[in-house]
A = this chain, B = another copy of it.
Amino acid sequence: MAHPRPLQALLLATPDETEAQFYEAMQTADVERMMALWADDDEVACVHPQGPRLLGAHAIRAGFDEMFGRGGVDLRAVQVRRSVIGHCAVHQVLEQVRVATPEGPQTGHLIATNVYVKTPQGWRMLLHHASPGGARESHELGDAPSTLH
């Protein structure tokens, strides 16, 4: 009897699938789902906007634990530029984030670099580096100017 392919590999068959799951895990504040997307590699690295660089799975998990302790993040990828070099995929992503403020919901933009590597367990995240975007990104997307950055 043939062995079935691992579920994880089926779910992470392309960098885009892994990326979609990354943003879903952000929205649902699901640490386990988030951490299942990362490569089993000492060099994994994560930088949240205006945060320190988090190196290794332990530090990255602690960062998401802290972030998700405040709830999910209404974050989505709105514009993606893709480069695939063999078993490595580099995505330059414009992210849109919505947050509730005392003045009502605000929309802002972040600039993220996401790097994925192809492994026997599917395409997994090697790196996420996000930083605040600005007026140019809001303009690029045709949004009204936002003060959120």
Q: Which residues of B contact A92 (CB under 8 A)?
A: 43, 45, 53, 55, 127, 129
Could you list 13 further interchain pairs (A-B, Cβ under 8 angstroms) beyond the known A51-B134, A52-B137? A45-B92, A47-B113, A47-B131, A53-B94, A53-B111, A83-B126, A85-B126, A90-B115, A90-B127, A113-B115, A115-B115, A131-B131, A131-B132
Q: A5 interface residue, CB < 8 Å from B?
A: no
Summarize A's interface: helix, strand, loop or mixed. Answer: strand
Q: Which residues of B contact A94 (CB under 8 A)?
A: 53
Q: A50 interface residue, CB < 8 Å from B?
A: yes
- How many interface residues does chain A have, given as a range? 20 to 34
Q: What is A's interface to B at a CB cutoff of 8 Å? A: 41, 43, 45, 47, 49-53, 55, 81-83, 85-88, 90, 92, 94, 111, 113, 115, 117, 126-127, 129, 131-134, 136-137
In angstroms, Cα B137 to Cα A49, docked, is 14
User: Is B81 touching A111 in the complex (CB atoms < 8 A)?
Assistant: no
In angstroms, Cα B82 to Cα A58, docked, is 18
* Interface residue from B53, B81, B126, B133 paired with A137 (Cβ < 8 Å): B53
The residue on B at minimum CB distance from A112 is: B129
Q: Which of A51, A90, A129, A131 has the most CB of B within 10 A?
A: A131
Q: Which residues of B contact A55 (CB under 8 A)?
A: 81, 92
